[in-house]
A = this chain, B = another copy of it.
């Protein structure tokens, strides 16, 4: 399951995608539109900015906005940045790989199943973008 934090992140990104072209959006506006605790959202947005998914503008008229057009950022990238691995096991993760301490990946039945699952999941999440997160 995705963490609450990731759900908040995706909701916020969907909202910002829908407001793309409207200039910076206040944290407070996103928080109230999507019912996210404002301070928690603040840290999430900051994190996404460091990941170059978002940009921000300070001062009056400032706020957060997508660093690129909505269709340029995949949902997979967003999830990985907040939650980490998408795969169900570290030993089949492409971006957060870690070897199992005691099992041989060439003979491990579980490894094979989870690798297939990962592929099926990524086939979708690597194609979906922030544009697809816009409600409608």
Residues of A within 8 A of B (CB): 1-2, 7, 10-11, 14, 35, 75, 84-85, 87-90, 101-104, 107-110, 112-113, 116-117, 120-121, 123-125, 128, 132-136
Residue of B nearest to A102 (CB): B35
A44 CB, nearest partner CB in chain B, Å: 15
Considering the chains assembled together, what is the distance between the CA atoms of A7 and B108 in angstroms?
12
Interface centre among A88, A104, A108, A123 (most CB of B within 10 A): A88
Considering the chains assembled together, what is the distance between the CA atoms of A109 and B75 in angstroms?
11
Considering the chains assembled together, what is the distance between the CA atoms of A135 and B107 in angstroms?
5
Asked if A108 contacts B124 (CB within 8 A), the reply is no
Asked if B109 contacts A7 (CB within 8 A), the reply is no
Residue of B nearest to A79 (CB): B88
Asked if B117 contacts A132 (CB within 8 A), the reply is no
Considering the chains assembled together, what is the distance between the CA atoms of A113 and B76 in angstroms?
11
Considering the chains assembled together, what is the distance between the CA atoms of A84 and B1 in angstroms?
9
11 A-B pairs in the complex with CB atoms less than 8 angstroms apart: A1-B85, A1-B90, A2-B88, A7-B89, A10-B110, A104-B135, A107-B136, A112-B132, A113-B124, A113-B133, A120-B120
Considering the chains assembled together, what is the distance between the CA atoms of A101 and B35 in angstroms?
10
